[in-house]
């Protein structure tokens, strides 16, 4: 996984997440729709925070540059979320996973084709957790994945 991503608007090197309602796909879609075009109008990549249930046709693909796998832990590590991540990658979009705070979750994010991830792991015990996190990231560099991008 890389800290940055590529998209049609990669020159901005920033992105903004449209408002969302955690664990509620329909409410998130309704909340996000007015904001996604406004975010893009600022020449900033627009991010949609997919929630539990988003796999039921509730992703505004034509309005987003990044798919954010949000929602519950169970959902964002599910086959449904994986299928959405694969579809996003096939569409040329970046995929971000939130709340990645373990080696296992980091490997799931990589296996799903995520191009970035975040979490609070490092904030809790940085002296101990930084070497662990760096080892996990090094491990990702040497672990084969169908989404590996060495360019």
Q: Are 15 and 65 in contact (CB under 8 A)?
A: yes
Per-residue tokens: 58: 């509730």
- CATH class of segment(s) 10-142: alpha beta
Strand partners, 67: 48, 95
pLDDT of residue 146: 56
Span between the terminal Cα atoms of the chain, in Å: 12
Dist CA 93 CA 101 (whole Å): 23
Considering only CA atoms, which of 84, 7, 76, 85 is closest in space to residue 46? Answer: 7
By C-alpha distance, which of 73, 81, 85, 71 is closest to 23? 71
Domain definitions of the chain by residue range: 10-142
Helix residue ranges, H only, 17-90? 25-32, 35-41, 73-76, 79-90
User: pLDDT at position 88, please?
Assistant: 98
pLDDT, position 127: 92
- Each of the 151 residues of the chain gets a pLDDT tens digit; together they read 333 434 444 454 589 999 999 999 999 999 999 999 999 999 999 999 999 999 999 999 999 999 999 999 999 999 999 999 999 999 999 999 999 999 999 999 999 999 999 998 878 889 998 888 888 888 888 876 655 444 3
pLDDT at 145: 63
The DSSP code for 99 is: -
Task: Tell me what pLDDT residue 11 has.
Answer: 52
- Whether pTM > 0.85 for this model: the answer is no
Q: What are phi and psi of 93, to 5 degrees?
A: -95, 155
| Rounded Cα distance, 4 and 9, in Å | 12
């Amino acid at each position: 996984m890389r800290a940055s991503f590529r998209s049609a608007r990669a020159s901005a090197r920033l992105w903004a997440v449209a408002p969302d309602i955690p664990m509620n796909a329909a409410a998130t879609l309704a909340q996000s729709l007015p904001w996604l075009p406004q975010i893009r109008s600022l020449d900033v990549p627009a991010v949609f925070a997919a929630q539990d249930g988003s796999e039921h046709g509730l992703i505004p693909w034509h309005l987003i540059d990044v798919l954010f796998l949000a929602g519950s832990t169970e959902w964002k590590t599910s086959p449904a979320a994986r299928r959405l991540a694969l579809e996003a990658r096939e569409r040329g979009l970046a995929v971000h996973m939130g709340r990645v705070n373990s080696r296992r979750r980091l490997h799931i994010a990589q296996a799903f084709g995520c191009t970035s991830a975040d979490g609070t792991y490092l904030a809790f015990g940085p002296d101990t957790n930084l070497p662990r996190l760096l080892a996990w990231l090094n491990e990702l560099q040497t672990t084969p994945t169908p989404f590996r991008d060495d360019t």
